[in-house]
Chain A
């Protein structure tokens, strides 16, 4: 029923345009019913987009190849899970997912914050409507998922790289992150437009920002896990432009989550915060542009298309409008408070912001440099991993250090003596850890050794914070240790959840430094019976064979694995030849040894005619710390987002004083 899908998108486009225009008129002229009507249009648009999404999902499930999108991204033999996941595997479906999430989140944010921000809302509705109108326009005019043609007997199938369970979760989470950043952007710009620069827009968007940031961070890690297992080069992050596309807005949003606390506590950094919100949103659009335009070669970019120019124009409009609005409202944004000392919590947040934004801008330059060089010199020069690694270490290590120092510094100002006393234990632990690690061999990679020493410092500082906080609470309330600990975290969820997130980043850093600094690789052409060694392991090639899978011919080579006298069993690695897609993918073998905290990784690059195989094997130490860090990251984020009863009471009191009910 593609006609229904097309009609639903046209209706959604009309509704969103109406929400943008009628909402703006209502805001300028102060018309109540017109604003309610515009808000209803936003809600109705979500309903219309849901109808379009259902039509596409039904067409995918039915293998309705009369839809070009279905024919181009699925085949009869493709398993149902991947057939449905093809919804976001192509450009048109991805745009529809963007619009679905955007209208859904926009409608929910407006409905939930309607009373709290009632005098900001008149501008929130048209801004959300305008952003969503752009995506609806693309879907209606430029890239319709409901285009039809004569149905082929079978579809072209799905890119083999996308036939991976992580790809079923990674794109939706990524889009929840990208799209979610629209909400703080819309509220911040609406606050500027309506000259309401109190903290309500921050309260209204706090959880939306945290949730979007969490989704984006988790999506980046799922993408890394996918790359680790599916792309088959043995690494987890390659500074690929599309990977960077998600990392840049995440870094800027991270900066915002820190600096907004300075605004809440000290009423400072007000200009900086709206700049960060606008920057994170613009970078999320830029990320979508990179992923979907096909302008940059990437292992993650599955499309070549003509929407790039539209995206660039829209990003230019967003940046121009944001800059103009910020400049016009600059007098209202100026903070009455000044930084009291360079040694204070707010100063630490400021330093952290500078490093985070510098890292994001450095990555941005690395991503756009090939485009700039091609435009100026006609040659697309690429920026390699050494460039990114240098800046990741140069800006990343001070950031890690700040994660340890920041929590130990008091707000307003701290004397160096008090700070020194706080630092004694973490610095001592770090020193001991550094010396021990150097003695056991970690000095072969100085950057990793420094990273581990800093990691020990941060973890010790976090433990110290929990211990001192619990002890202080115990002294105040006379509670038992467990009750004091629960009370401490329960009453300061953002702070202590944030420390868990810091610990997660450190755990991730331990894994990244392990695989990057101490991994071993061996490559060889092996005949049956021959052995290759990597680290402590011996890999003996036994035999190879083929079998027919659900939608591919699966060639596998078997290897026995030994460490010393221990027989560790058999592993299989090889390649899948996908029939409908006419493409080949590497299917690597990964064996995790949790006790030794390392992965054995086997890649078969080629099956040779003489019966030999070209094999590459790696030992990736500590790599699973990266995934463990991801889980810890989600746990910490949930703690920070958990509703705070005291904050709710404060808002209720404030709301009662002004005759409205908080969300």
Chain B
């Protein structure tokens, strides 16, 4: 066992201990040591946002498939109504007050 190896090993171990202990050394007595969690209402809103994005993306996809000929005019007419309703429901569920919507962001999603 060489002395240099021992010294380097001890330095490595000390450095690692310091890194691991850092959160406790930096905040010995924190005001709040709880993990930040999304409240249930926010989690629900996150799911609604995903639902909204999915509904808008589905509409966009349908438009594109119609233009490229994958969806016939007949199929398009049948499918577009329910998808629009679904998107509207997702938007309503997300924000029942239409004045608080973010129309610019959604316009980009639909027409991009």
- Measured CB to CB, the residues of A under 8 A from B are 1-4, 7-8, 11, 15, 18, 26-27, 30-37, 40-41, 43-45, 47-48, 51, 118-119, 122, 196, 198-199, 264-267, 408-415, 417-418, 421-422, 468-469, 471-472, 475-476, 491, 646, 649-650, 653-654, 657-658
Contacts and interface: CB of A to CB of B under 8 A. Distances in A.
Given A119-B37, A658-B42, A409 B70 contact: yes
Contact of B12 (A51, A198, A415): A51
Contact of B33 (A8, A31, A649): A31
B69 A468 contact: yes
B54 A3 contact: no
B105 A44 contact: no
A472 B38 contact: no
B35 A26 contact: yes
Contacts of A267: 50-51, 54
A31 B32 CA distance: 9
A475 B67 contact: yes
A657 B23 CA distance: 28
Interface size class of B (residues with CB under 8 A): 35 or more
B30 to A, nearest CB: 7
A412 B81 CA distance: 13
B5 to A, nearest CB: 4
Given A33-B23, A410-B65, A266 B75 contact: no
B112 A410 contact: no
A414 B61 CA distance: 13
Interface in B52-78: 53-54, 57-58, 61-62, 64-65, 67-72, 74-75
Contacts of A475: 67
B39 to A, nearest CB: 10
Interface of B: 1-2, 4-6, 8-9, 12-13, 15-16, 19-24, 27, 30, 32-38, 42-43, 45-47, 49-51, 53-54, 57-58, 61-62, 64-65, 67-72, 74-75, 79, 102, 105, 108-109, 112
Given A32-B33, A658-B38, A658-B46, A418 B71 contact: yes
A11 B12 contact: yes
A8 B68 contact: no
A267 B35 CA distance: 29
A418 B72 contact: yes
Contact of B36 (A18, A118, A414): A118
Nearest to B6: A3
Interface of A, helix, strand, loop or mixed by DSSP = helix
Contacts of B71: 410, 414, 418
B72 to A, nearest CB: 4
Nearest to B16: A44
A32 B20 contact: no
Nearest to A45: B16
A44 B54 contact: no
Q: Which of A118, A417, A653 has the most CB of B within 10 A?
A: A653
B9 A4 contact: yes
B36 to A, nearest CB: 7
Given A266-B54, A411-B61, A8 B79 contact: no
A8 B46 contact: no
A4 B38 CA distance: 44
A421 B105 contact: no
Contacts of B112: 491, 646
B80 to A, nearest CB: 11
Nearest to A476: B67
Q: Which of A4, A18, A409 has the most CB of B within 10 A?
A: A4
B18 to A, nearest CB: 9
Nearest to A22: B20
11 contacts: A1-B2, A1-B4, A32-B30, A41-B20, A47-B16, A119-B36, A119-B37, A265-B57, A411-B58, A414-B75, A415-B75
B64 to A, nearest CB: 6
B70 A7 contact: no
B68 A469 contact: yes
A33 B27 contact: yes
Contact of B16 (A4, A15, A122, A415): A15
A409 B38 CA distance: 39
Contacts of A649: 108
Contacts of B62: 410-412
Given A44-B16, A198-B47, 17 more contacts: A1-B4, A1-B5, A7-B13, A15-B20, A32-B30, A32-B36, A33-B33, A40-B19, A41-B19, A119-B35, A198-B50, A410-B70, A414-B75, A421-B72, A472-B68, A475-B67, A654-B49
Query: Which 5 pairs across A and B sit closest by C-beta, in order of nearness?
Result: A7-B9, A36-B23, A3-B5, A472-B67, A468-B68
A242 B24 CA distance: 47
A412 B109 CA distance: 20
A415 B65 CA distance: 13
A624 B61 CA distance: 38
A265 B58 contact: yes
Q: Which of B35, B36, B42 has the most CB of A within 10 A?
A: B35
B1 A3 contact: yes
Contacts of B68: 468-469, 471-472
Contact of A32 (B35, B49, B61): B35
Contact of B54 (A27, A32, A265): A265
Contact of A472 (B34, B46, B64): B64
Contacts of B50: 198-199, 267
Given A37-B24, A414-B75, A476-B67, A7 B12 contact: yes
Nearest to A19: B20
A151 to B, nearest CB: 15
A37 B22 contact: yes
Contacts of B61: 265, 411
Contacts of A657: 45, 49
Contacts of A34: 23
B47 A37 contact: no
Given A1-B2, A33-B33, A410-B65, A11 B16 contact: yes
A44 B36 CA distance: 24
A113 to B, nearest CB: 15
Contacts of B23: 32-34, 36-37, 40
Contacts of A199: 50
A653 B75 contact: no
B59 to A, nearest CB: 11
Contact of A4 (B8, B27, B46, B79): B8
Contacts of A11: 9, 12-13, 16
